[in-house]
Amino acid sequence: LSERFRTKLKQLGFDTGGSETPIVPVIVGPNDQAVAMSELLQEAGLAAIAIRPPTVPEGTARIRFSVTAAMTAEDVDMAVDRIAWAGGQIGLIS
């Protein structure tokens, strides 16, 4: 499922870094955009916390998502849809 999640995000134009684990980042860049996206996603029902410096390098703020064995393909698709919506809202993807 994590590969499905990562692939769908990449197809939409998101930068997921080099992750190959069930923890999948969406690299946003500026801190304010990461916080805005995090807030939108939380309002949409996803657990999405912005990870900012000093935890990650300056200019690479991100949101990390954990794909678990309890999730279904439908859960992954729903999450991707909400992430795409939020990414569009902040201008990260078009």
On whether the CB atoms of residues 63 and 25 are closer than 8 A, the answer is: yes
On whether the CB atoms of residues 83 and 15 are closer than 8 A, the answer is: no
pLDDT band per the 50, 70, 90 thresholds, residue 88: very high
Q: By C-alpha distance, which of 52, 25, 24, 17 is closest to 36?
A: 52
Amino acid at site 14: F
pLDDT tens-place string over residues 51-70: 999 999 999 999 999 999 99
Domains and CATH numbers, the chain: 2-85 (3.90.1150.10)
Q: What is the pTM for the complete model shown?
A: 0.94
Q: H or E element: which one contains 81?
A: helix 73-89
Amino acid at site 12: L
